[in-house]
Amino acid sequence: MLEHATLYYKTLFCPANNNVLPLEQSFWDEVTSLSPEDNELLCKPFSEGEIKEALFQMEKNKAAGPDGIPIEFFQTCWEIVKKDIIEMFDDFHKGKLDVSRINYGIITLLTKTMDADRMQQFRPICLLNCLYKWITRVLTIRMAPYAEKLICQEQTAFMKGRNIMTGVMALHEVMHETKRKRKSGLILKLDFEKAYDKVDWVFLLNSVRQRGFDEKWCEWIKQVISGGTVSVKLNNQIGPYFVSHKGVRQGDPLSPILFNFVADCLTRMIKQAQRNGLITGLASNLIDKGVAVLQYADDTIICLENNMEGARNMKLLLYIYKIMSGLKINFSKSEIVMINGDADQENQFSDLFNCQVGKFPIRYLGVPVSPSKLHLVDWAPLIEKNNKKLDNWKGSSMSIAGRATLINSSLSSTFIYHMSMYLLPKTILNTLDRQRSFFWQGGGSRKKYHLVKWESLCKSKRKGGLGLKDIRKMNVSLLSKWWWRLEKEDGIWQRIIRAKYIKGELVSKVKSR
Amino acid sequence: MKIRHIYLAGRKIKVGDGSITLFWLDCWINDKPLHLLYPTLFELCEIKLITVKKFLEVGGNISFRRCLPPFLQEQWAEVIRSILPPPRSMSLDTVSWKWSTTGAFTVKSTYDRLTVNNTGESFSRIWKAKLPYKIKIFLWLVENGAILTKDNMVKRGWQGDPSCRFCENIETIQHLFFECSLARVVWSIVAIPLKANNIPTSLRQYWN
């Protein structure tokens, strides 16, 4: 088993074929890049405060890396070790530190599905040394504010001030608008194969360098990402160490940002193609050229007008992107759906992309999205998920206190995510409440008395309740946040909504949602 | 619809040039919009959606559908007084959230606000006590009068004798825990190691 796993990851991290097709510098001309002042700030020596901040940001109670030193050690002994640590950072700053000596990790395999029997069904989480993570964390903190500036708004992951739901909202509005205007459109949901592990380093470094990051900074990133060694751990046995040649680590704080830079290239390429009229996005009546691409890390949605030519261009573009970045699209797992299209066309497109035909509602980031109103059936998985949890708990006899804790921590939180996007239908809310009456029922199937009114249970503890959440009110409060965001922030969905409903009026005058 | 109302109720505007603030409908000088404070005036005014900027431009002379009777004129003067001195700045209006302390929107503050009508006694003594959680919940049930004592069971349609197992009285929570002779014996036994010299007669006694 261990041999097999090691071999699998060895081949996965093997050197990339050297067919690097670089993006030309001219591609980045119109893009805002970093100014010399920014670079000066990025490359200044590491201060003690900065190092300390990074240390105390790191989460406690995590599995330690292969050297066995947990983060708590550094946190409690900060005063004692700080001199040595600062010295180490100084060395790193001067480029004297051999990062590869602390950059080794153990890949731990976590199952993605219940009964995983193939290597693909495991998630390789890399346990790294704290020292290494510390260095990358410091780099991350420095880089984050610039990443916000440099990465397109289409990308909604891992950055301050960007919310996962804004992508879903934009997609929803685009689809709704297309349907409303009786236009025909194509939605392509892409699935990248082992996205993090396949990123090509040369491409990654190029895409960072071409944004105008200083040579010194690029050198640091190169040191941090390359030259790492890993080994696979299985059944408490550690396999032989080998050198990885591509990919960013899962479990390294810097990875999400670096990956965003890579993914951003795709967005920019698509936008460039859009500008040159090679492809057209949807909802072009609302915002200039329409929306063609939405991303959350590697979850990518592509919206195209019903146009064979555009679709062919898109396919070529994705192919080129694959050659450049090493990110392969798993077309068999991707989905294609058409709005207002006929089955014939749908088949043509699915043949072109060689992927399945999906149907509405599609699940984007775990939320069902559809151009029309969602039906009760679409919420069934949500109920089902809770039911499954309940079944597990029913077997074990718990005290009333145990049940209260479980309901508060687990049952009430599963649908918060969905409620921050949609106003759930009354029937669903009632069902969810009925599930929560597990509080009284406990394990047995026998009906038991509900001793206290449900409403009083939902009061907060200060008001004499048990602090369960009133889901209806929770739903409403979560949704009012959208109004706030609409007024305070700017992004793609805000632009769509403004063009669609508000039309220059004041927020307080607008009527619908 | 409803969500928008909630949002507008919690929104407060700090007036700069007044271009996005609605004179009657937005919260800007008070925590309540003017149309709620002076409904009759709002009913009579001609342009209901006037912005503060516009209002200042016309110098506060907005037209009403008919002549205001003296008491309404008094009200109108009051409105004008509350606005004085008129905001004169070139900066933009800034929106803030009045239910949170920082002025930024939080879901929690909204939720708390929506549940503000829930009233009830706080049993903070229970929750703060150093007891296992299940005992706390039991005490909470006692406070809510929701323990299945015999009298409660009878209320729920149980057919049986509601009298206490140890004496002839009806078994209520109060009786079972404090008044029954057996309970008093238990309490007095507990009192010995604690060196207490009286026997409690209710849970409240402990909390207060």
List, for residues A87-129, the tens digit of each pLDDT value: 888 888 887 777 777 888 888 888 777 776 777 778 777 888 8
What average pLDDT does this structure show over B13-23? Answer: 77
B158 and chain A: CB distance < 8 Å anywhere? no
Task: Decide the pairing of beta strands A122-128 and A237-238.
Answer: unpaired
pLDDT the model gives residue B107:
86
B116 and chain A: CB distance < 8 Å anywhere? no
Q: How far is A445 from chain B (nearest CA, A)?
A: 19
Q: Do B120 and A452 touch (CB under 8 A)?
A: no
Question: What kind and span of H or E run contains A117?
Answer: none
Please say whether the beta carbons of A123 and A110 come within 8 A: yes
- Which of B108, B137, B143, B203 to mutate to test binding with chain A, by most A CBs within 10 Å of its CB? B137
List, for residues A184-197, the tens digit of each pLDDT value: 888 888 888 777 88
Q: Picking from A44-53, B39-48, B174-183, B199-208, which range would have the lowest pLDDT averaged per residue?
A: B199-208
What is the reported pTM? Answer: 0.82
Whether residue A15 has a cis bond before it, omega within 30° of 0: no
B3 and chain A: CB distance < 8 Å anywhere? yes
Please say whether the beta carbons of A235 and A4 come within 8 A: no
List, for residues A64-86, the tens digit of each pLDDT value: 777 878 888 888 888 888 888 88
**More confident call, A175 vs B117:** A175
Question: What kind and span of H or E run contains A79?
Answer: helix A78-94
Q: How far is CA B190 from CA A74, B70, B182, B183, B184, in A?
A: 49, 74, 13, 11, 10
Task: Give residue A23's pLDDT band: very low, low, confident or very high (50, 70, 90).
Answer: low
Closest CA to A484 of B16, B11, B30: B11
Please say whether the beta carbons of A232 and A107 come within 8 A: yes
Strand partners, A111: A122
Task: Give residue A509's pLDDT band: very low, low, confident or very high (50, 70, 90).
Answer: very low
Where helices occur in A326-453 by DSSP H, the ranges are: 343-353, 380-395, 400-406, 412-414, 416-419, 426-436, 438-441
Tell me which residue in A462, A470, A513 faces B4 most closely, judged by beta carbons. Answer: A513
Token pair, residue B9, equals: 């109720």
Phi, psi of A207 (to 5 degrees): -70, -25
Ramachandran sector of residue B30 (left: φ over 0; alpha: ψ -120 to 50; beta: rest): beta
Closest CA to A259 of A250, A270, A272, A268: A250
Phi, psi of A61 (to 5 degrees): 60, 40
Q: Residue A406 corresponds to which amino acid?
A: L
A508 and chain B: CB distance < 8 Å anywhere? yes
Q: Is the ipTM of this complex over 0.90?
A: no
List, for residues B59-92, the tens digit of each pLDDT value: 777 777 777 788 888 887 887 777 776 666 677 7
A359 and chain B: CB distance < 8 Å anywhere? no
d(CA A513, CA A492): 17
Instruction: Give me the residue label for tokens 């006692």.
Output: B142
List, for residues B95-136, the tens digit of each pLDDT value: 888 888 888 888 888 888 888 777 777 777 888 888 888 888
